[in-house]
Structure formats: structure tokens, C-alpha cells
Amino acid sequence: MSVRPILTAPDPRLKAVSTDVGAVDDEIRRLIDDMADSMYAADGIGLAAVQIGVPKRVIVMDLDQKSGKKNPRAFVDPKITWASEETATFEEGCLSVPEIWESVDRPARIKCEYLDRDGKVQLLEADGLLATCLQHEMDHLEGVLFIDHISKLKRSMALRKLSKAKRLKETG
Ligand code: NI
């Protein structure tokens, strides 16, 4: 298990459309473990494989870790099979868009199908933070960032702030 560096916008590799895994083998389980380590090291609650430069449809998430106990969940080849018309708004952030937080509207409830780390098909009905987080991470698999959901003006302000922070980090 190892912590891998997380790509940040506007890195073009974040725009890659991830490919299906198909079958969960030991290599994918190693990827899941590295992703969980990388997510915890960066103090995040979710991570898609493409964020560490591996364009495969794998997501890890842990919404409980703020409470101190680690309970990482893996979602392989996730698909949304149903989404509510009702929407919910959350302030979203992203390890690939550090220090930027913006409100995003998304379907409030979803049904989703995925493979777990044992390769078993799982069905999940989600609402609240879990529904938002899953949709945010699944966007990464299509090369979409949460800032792609906000206005152009807000997006360019966010990217400017980000590149300024990057420059400061490189010089400081
Ligand atoms: Ni993200």
C-alpha cells in the first residue's frame, strides 16, 4: 500500500474518460488500497482512480472517517440506474481542486449498481451526502470536475485562485 500523488486541475489527465474494470482482481484491490491511503493522507472523503492518474472506473469513499474510524468503501464500474427529479445542493470540494468550495445542484437521491472489492454486484440507494459524493466521484470517471457544474465566471475565478496557490507553493 502506498500514498500516490493526486493530480490537480487543470491537469489534462483529469479529463480522461475512465475505462471499465470488468473483473476485480488483486491488481485492482491493490489500486483500491493505494487510493484509500492516498485519500486518507490528503484528508479527503472520496477519490476516483483517475485522480492518481489511473483512468479506470474505480472509486473509494469514506464518509465516516471524520469521526475517527476508517471504513473505506470501494465502488468499481459504478452505474446510476435511477436519479430523482428532486435535487439537493451541497457545498462541494475536491482533492483535485484544492481550497475551492462551491454549491452544486444534483439529484437528491440515486440508485446505483457497482462491484465491491470482492467483485460482487451490489445495489445501493443513496441520499444526502452519499448521493452527492457518489455523483461527484462518478463525474471524475467521465473527466468532469465539480467546477464544470458552476457558472463560467465562478469557474474561471476558481481556476485563477488555484493557479495562484500553485505558484505560491512552487516558489515558497
Ligand atoms: Ni473530486
pLDDT tens string 85-139: 999 999 999 999 998 999 999 999 999 999 999 999 999 999 999 999 999 999 9
Considering only residues 82 and 64, tell me which one the structure prediction assigns the higher pLDDT. 82
The model carries a pTM of 0.94
* CATH superfamily name and code, 12-171: Peptide deformylase (3.90.45.10)
The DSSP result for 76-131, as a single string, is EEEEEEEE-SSEEEEEEEETTEEEEEEEEEEES-EEEEEE-TTS-EEEEEE-HHHH
Task: Write the pLDDT tens digit of every residue in 33-55.
Answer: 999 999 999 999 999 999 999 99
Is 113 among the residues known to form the active site? no
Choose the catalytic residue: 91, 102, 113, 137: 137
Give 42 Cα–ligand 1 centroid separation in angstroms: 12
Give 75 Cα–ligand 1 centroid separation in angstroms: 15
User: What's the confidence (pLDDT) of residue 66?
Assistant: 66
Per-domain residue ranges for the chain? 12-171
Give 138 Cα–ligand 1 centroid separation in angstroms: 9
